[in-house]
Amino acid sequence: MQENNQPVVNLISKPENMLKTVYTACRTCYSADYPINIYSSTDDKEKMLKLIERVISSGHYSTIEHIQVSFAISNVSRACTHQLVRHRHMSFSQKSQRYVKEKGQFDYIIPPTIEKNQELKEKFITFMGKISEQYQEFVDAGIPAEDARFVLPNAAASSMVASLNLREMIHLANLRLCTRAQYEIRTLVKKMCEELLKEEPWLRPYLVPKCERLGFCDEDKSCGRKPTKELIGIK
């Protein structure tokens, strides 16, 4: 288990010329010039950002699908990865519980609510130990890992490489940075955004909870960060 019990996230791949590529895609829609000329002749960052914001705000999202980014993710629970893989425009390669046999105590994630309660934390750890023993007994008896894994819990730690285009990245951030999202996937997606923002700070206005883009909250139970849609008269 990682000491900090937190997702570990690294951006491992992204195009070098992200802003210029998105700008070229946007500009091509409204220009008689060849895309390659637009690409080669533009370096004005302000001009590029202005057009990109206009195009994205008008819902012309295909222009941001040209950008693909990949993350190396580890130390997340199966409960968390199960939520992430619901995003259908993402690509995943996840550590297999069929091919990778657990040896000794499997890694697991302790939720903070249990972590901070010493008595419950000890019970949690003891229980993980019992599961591990049972898993090991099955494996030692010749049960294939793909069947022994049936006893492994949602807490079992996992690793994956996850890739997505910029449109899906923004969608993912809008949904999963919302305070209504579960804490672990929220932490994971926050780290993915931070990693990308280190390299591409111009994306900051987009990698936000959906209420920041909408200007209101469309959730049933609002956290109060923004007025609800009912409050501002949207049905």
Ligand X SMILES: Cc1cc2nc3c(=O)[nH]c(=O)nc-3n(C[C@H](O)[C@H](O)[C@H](O)COP(=O)(O)OP(=O)(O)OC[C@H]3O[C@@H](n4cnc5c(N)ncnc54)[C@H](O)[C@@H]3O)c2cc1C
User: Does residue 121 belong to the site contacting ligand X (CB under 6 A)?
Assistant: no
User: Does residue 221 belong to the site contacting ligand X (CB under 6 A)?
Assistant: no
Cα–Cα distance measured from residue 77 to residue 110, given in angstroms and rounded to the nearest whole number: 9
Contacts 24+ apart (CB under 8 A), 211-216: 211/178, 213/174
Handedness of CA 21, 24, 29, 33 (dihedral sign): negative
User: Does residue 60 belong to the site contacting ligand X (CB under 6 A)?
Assistant: no
Q: Which of 176, 186, 204, 213 is catalytic?
A: 176
C-alpha distances in Å from residue 226, one per residue of 181, 182, 215: 16, 19, 7
Report the SS3 class of residue 71.
strand
Q: How far is the CB of 59 from ligand X (least distance, A)?
A: 12
C-alpha distances in Å from residue 44, one per residue of 16, 19, 39, 40, 63: 17, 11, 11, 12, 19
> Can you tell me which residue has the tokens 């220009």?
31
Number of residues that bind ligand X (CB under 6 A): 10
Instruction: Please say if 176 is a catalytic residue.
Output: yes
The single residue among 9, 18, 135, 168 that binds ligand X, judged by CB under 6 A, is: 168
Site string for ligand X, 175-204 (x = CB under 6 A): xx---xx-----------------------
Please report which residue ranges of the chain form alpha helices under DSSP H. 18-28, 35-41, 45-57, 78-84, 112-115, 118-140, 145-148, 166-176, 183-199, 210-214
Q: How far is the CB of 89 from ligand X (least distance, A)?
A: 5
Q: How far is the CB of 87 from ligand X (least distance, A)?
A: 4
Stretch of 60-68, 70-78, 84-92, 102-110 contacting ligand X, by CB under 6 A: 84-92
- Closer CB to ligand X, residue 171 or residue 226? 171
CB 153 within 8 A of CB 184: no
CB 110 within 8 A of CB 124: yes
User: Does residue 171 belong to the site contacting ligand X (CB under 6 A)?
Assistant: yes
- Closer CB to ligand X, residue 42 or residue 179? 179
Site string for ligand X, 88-117 (x = CB under 6 A): xx----------------------------
Q: How far is the CB of 88 from ligand X (least distance, A)?
A: 4
Q: Phi/psi class of residue 125: alpha, beta or left (left: φ > 0; alpha: ψ in -120 to 50)? A: alpha
User: Does residue 87 belong to the site contacting ligand X (CB under 6 A)?
Assistant: yes
Q: How far is the CB of 14 from ligand X (least distance, A)?
A: 19
Catalytic residues: 176
Give residues in contact with ligand X (CB under 6 A). Answer: 86-89, 168, 171, 175-176, 180-181
